Amino acid sequence: MNTQHNRGDFNVIASWIKPGERVLDLGCGDGALLRRLIDERGARGYGIELENAAMLCALENGINVIQTDLEQGLAGFGDGTFDHVVLSRTLQTVLHTENVLKEMLRVGTEAVVSFPNFAYWKNRLAVMNGRMPVSEDLPFEWFNTPNLRFFTLLDFESVCEHLGIAIRERQVLDEAGSLVDEEANFLGSLAVYRIGRDWLISRFDQFLHFHPQGLGFFDLPL
Amino acid sequence: MSSPVGADDTPLNNNVGAVASKRVQFSAPLQLQSGAILPAFDLAVETYGTLNAAKSNAILVCHALSGHQHVAGFRADNANDIGWWDNIVGAGRPLDTDKYFIVGLNNLGGCHGSSGPSSINAASGKPWGADFPVVTVSDWVAAQARLADTFGIDAWAAVIGGSLGGMQALQWTLDFPQRVRGALVIAAAPKLSAENIAFNDVARQAILTDPDFHGGHYYAHNVVPLRGLRLARMLGHITYLSDDQMAEKFGRRTRAGAGSYGFDVEFEVESYLRHQGDKFAGVFDANTYLRMTKALDYFDPAAEFDDDLAAALARATAQFLIVSFTTDWRFPPARSREMVNALVKNGQPVVYSEIECAHGHDSFLMDDAHYHAVVRSFLKRVGT
């Protein structure tokens, strides 16, 4: 769900895409990010967009757009099909958060995820004052928001650790779209992460997959 | 397919206007996939719009199981005979006759003026009947390529088709990659499932076991296997509709005199299906029906690539538009996504749209705003 305003995260994302990369943009909206990656980086891009009007815009923008639910769309792609899988300002709208993150790193070598930081100081202040926050990066009222999940930089980093996802790079932006250097979880309104598979932990996952009972050490008579 | 009935589907509002078919003759032999050779053949053709000087604005419309060359407009000699996909062709419509030169044809083996089982075999002076060879999707594409040659068309701007027509569009990109810029593969599948083939075989059995079939040489006996063809169509027709749509259209509504504990028409759905069967059996050729279903069954471009569809599609250079419909259970969206996934795997250009439409497999003939907008926009990308 790419909103039309303030796409400061696009600059960050574009800086992480190398020329000629294969990119999948989940919830590509009107295709503005992909258009930019294709024009500036020569990316070979595909977008997934479910909504009719946005899908048509992306088509008009010359995007290879695939109209389907993003979770279904991911399931059909083979391992390592893309260099980068992008999920821009959409993770907070996804129901099966863990599955989508895992799937993104199955079909992509790396993933790029941006999301609004619920712990941004203005959001904290709004809650302190007894109201749910509405801001540049959380532009909806509580009753009409498509957002299902409210989380912070620390929350995201914690789920990454839990899933064996390695954080390769992080850029945090304020509401004006300027980079935030310090106290990111307090001063940052929008976070952009470049993530990959943690080699050691993903090997451990595979090990558990093939040996669901472990090696049975604890079953040995002592 | 059943005829689309849209609001503008009357001669009065018809866009393309009066049209006439013509017959194009091909005298060079055509080698068929089965090994048989057709020494010569005719194709019945209709065209709409004007071919530009560069001959770069031509769109080929491929028909499905029961279609033909009469895609749009009404026949000059019968204003009620409107083309089977009229709502998408015309000035200002997605297949815009102000921009494109649209070609519709009746495929080889058909019964609407092209060479087929019911046409005369020059060698015997009698109808071909059972002797007309079984033709495949590739054979149709080969014949269509000959047709393109007669127009001087090096490459189609686009090849479009629904269902079996979509399979021809896909086959074009594989057999003549350089001769098609855009392929619109709608409500199709990369091959039939066992269930699809099973339905086709029941339809064929209905025809083959009709006492009037005479091994396919029924023309010589001055009869037609009406009962078999009617049953085949009734069965096929069920698979073109959706359960929801049938519930809405007929439900369990009955006709007057129902509940007589007999076997005459009681439920509206029975009446509808029998009417569809009768209408079809009166105008269609049973031998053609057998061949069309067989072409469907045989279609499987991945077969020669160890069932690796991506490997099979790798040689295509066209831009693809794949479209599916949510209530289509004959070729459901998952079947279209097989093609999308294969193209994405190869890094090939593809646009995919899953249209919410209540009309089952027949949805591809409907005038749905999003569906038509997608087709229109994709064609803009392909250019004239």
Residues B162-182, mean pLDDT to the nearest whole number: 98
Beta bridge mates, B211: none
Which carries the bigger pLDDT value, residue A199 or residue B7? Answer: A199
Return all residues near A108 (Cβ < 8 A) that are at least 6 apart. A24, A80, A81, A82, A83, A84, A85
ipTM: 0.91
Question: Are the Cβ atoms of B341 and A62 closer than 8 angstroms?
Answer: no
CB contacts, 8 Å: B373 with chain A: 56
Mutate to test the interface with B, among A64, A69, A74 (most CBs of B within 10 A): A64
Residue B215 has pLDDT above 60, yes or no: yes
For B288, phi and psi rounded to 5 degrees? -65, -45
Min mean pLDDT across A68-82, B22-36, B79-93, B272-286 is at: A68-82
- Above 50 in pLDDT, residue A4? no
For B157-179, what is the mean pLDDT?
A: 98
Does the pLDDT of residue B293 top 60, yes or no?
Answer: yes
pLDDT at A85 over 50: yes
The confidence score (pLDDT) of residue A5 equals: 45
From A52, A56, A67, residue closest to B352, measured CB to CB = A67
In this prediction, residues B252-264 reach a mean pLDDT of: 87
Residue B351 is nearest to which of A52, A65, A72, comparing CB atoms?
Answer: A65
Q: Return the minimum-mean-pLDDT range out of A3-12, A33-42, A139-148, B41-50.
A: A3-12
CB contact under 8 A, B345 and A56: no
Q: How confident is the model at residue B259 (pLDDT cuts 50, 70, 90)?
A: confident
Task: Count A/B contacts: CB-CB distance under 8 Å.
Answer: 48
| Portion 322-381 of B in contact with A at CB < 8 A | 333, 337, 340-341, 344-345, 347, 349-354, 370, 373-374, 377-378, 380-381
Task: Answer whether B225's CB lies under 8 Å from B286's CB.
Answer: yes
Q: What is the band of B6 on the pLDDT scale with cuts at 50, 70, 90?
A: very low
Separation in Å, CA B61 to CA A56, A202, A204, B70, B161: 23, 50, 54, 10, 6
- What radius of gyration do chain A's Cα atoms show? 19
The catalytic residue positions of B are: 163, 328, 361
A147-184 b/e (C-beta count within 10 Å ≥ 16 → b): beebbbbebbbeebeebbbbeeebbbbbeebeebeeeb
Confidence of residue A221 (pLDDT cuts 50, 70, 90): very low
Q: Which of A28, A59, A72 to mutate to test the interface with B (most CBs of B within 10 A)?
A: A59
Is-contact B148 B135, C-beta < 8 A?
no
Over range B104-131, report the average pLDDT.
Answer: 96
* A1, A49, B7, B354 from A115: Cα distances, Å: 11, 18, 46, 28
Q: Is B47 helix (H, G, I), strand (E, B) or coil?
A: strand
For residues B154 and B236, give the distance between their C-alpha atoms in angstroms, rounded to a whole number.
36
Phi, psi of A62, deg, nearest 5: 80, 20
Per-residue confidence at A214, pLDDT binned at 50, 70, 90?
A: low
CA angle B158, B160, B161 (to 5 degrees): 165
Q: Which residues of A touch B351 (CB under 8 A)?
A: 59, 64-66
Res B11 pLDDT > 60? no
Picking from B373, B204, B372, the residue whose alpha carbon sits closest to that of residue B296 is: B204
Predicted local confidence at residue A204, as pLDDT: 62
Provide the residue type at B295 as one letter: A
pLDDT for B317-364, tens place per residue? 999 999 999 999 999 999 999 999 999 999 999 999 999 999 999 999
Residue B137, pLDDT > 90, answer: yes
User: What one-character-per-residue DSSP string does B159-221 give?
Assistant: EEEETHHHHHHHHHHHH-GGGEEEEEEES--SS--HHHHHHHHHHHHHHHT-TT-GGGTGGGG
Q: How far apart are CA B167 and CA B331, in angstroms?
A: 12
**How far is B130 from B216, CA to CA, in rounded Å?**
4
Minimum CA–CA partner of A68 in chain B: B354
Cβ contacts of A61 within 8 Å, gap of 6 or more: A30, A31, A32, A34, A35
- B231, B301, B354 from B238: Cα distances, Å: 11, 27, 22
- For the segment B91-102, the average pLDDT, to the nearest whole number, is 97
Collapsing DSSP states into helix, strand and coil, what is residue A2? coil
